[in-house]
Structure 1
């Protein structure tokens, strides 16, 4: 029989820890990420495709343009950076802090034969928009008859 730590203000529901005061469930993975101080958050991303290529829309509220890095290497596009926490004023008492701060990184595969020099990005109103053009079409394989 193994001993488990009892916390009087939270209960377990399957693999989730439930806090009745927050009225929110956290999975074990969420709790592990919360305890990992090196990477506290991952920005939300939408990936869409149109006739011209793929678009990545990445929400980065409160992040300055200079704090964002875009790198393309080995067929992967990496968005990384850091959101710093606002300075706390003396005498302030926080009752709840839900915004996450710290380093972030997201990685996406770039289509084969895509010209990485044609990838463009713009940042406005806390949203990073990245356009990855569709690669030029390869020739269709031709069937060769054997004589």
Structure 2
């Protein structure tokens, strides 16, 4: 071999995994926006991170996210320190018999998302409903105490 070249073979070549690349980008963005807890504690390769709409109204913050195929018993919502964690699992199994063969399919999906809220909320007064695969969480805003100015003597 000339010029310091090394032989190439398919066994020495590393494959580019676009999903791994996207996962690394998501982890960087999570760190940038302070959401590293969600990626390290709840997320893994098979976990879906649903998109979230956050709407701030006069007295409420309303969070909406899609959780297709999930029943309300399988959803876990936690609110603490103006941060929301949504976790959900779904499991389906189908069985079909036709002309001498049996086909079984099983699917398992996991959803997880954590994010900060734009303002303080009353955690104990929050409510949620799951209708047609759409989760809606309504959280009343907490009253912010007015700042008192202190005069310097």
Q: Do residues 102 (structure 1) and 141 (structure 2) align?
A: no
Structure 2 unaligned segments of length 5 or more: list them: 1-5, 27-42, 97-101
Query: Does the aligned pair in 2 maintain the 1:40–1:101 contact within 8 Å?
Result: no
Rg larger for: 2
Q: Give the distance between the partners of 1:32 and 1:112, measured in 2 at CA.
A: 27
SS at match of 2:65: strand
Please report the TM-score for the alignment, with normalisation by the length of structure 2.
0.61
Q: Do residues 29 (structure 1) and 36 (structure 2) align?
A: no
Structure 1 unaligned segments of length 5 or more: list them: 7-11, 18-25, 95-99
Question: How many pairs are equivalent?
Answer: 122
1:1-147 paired onto structure 2 within 5 Å: 3-5=12-14, 17=18, 28-30=21-23, 39-87=46-94, 89=96, 90-91=102-103, 101-110=108-117, 114-146=121-153
Which structure has the highest helix share of the two? Answer: 2
| Root mean square deviation, CA, Å | 3.5
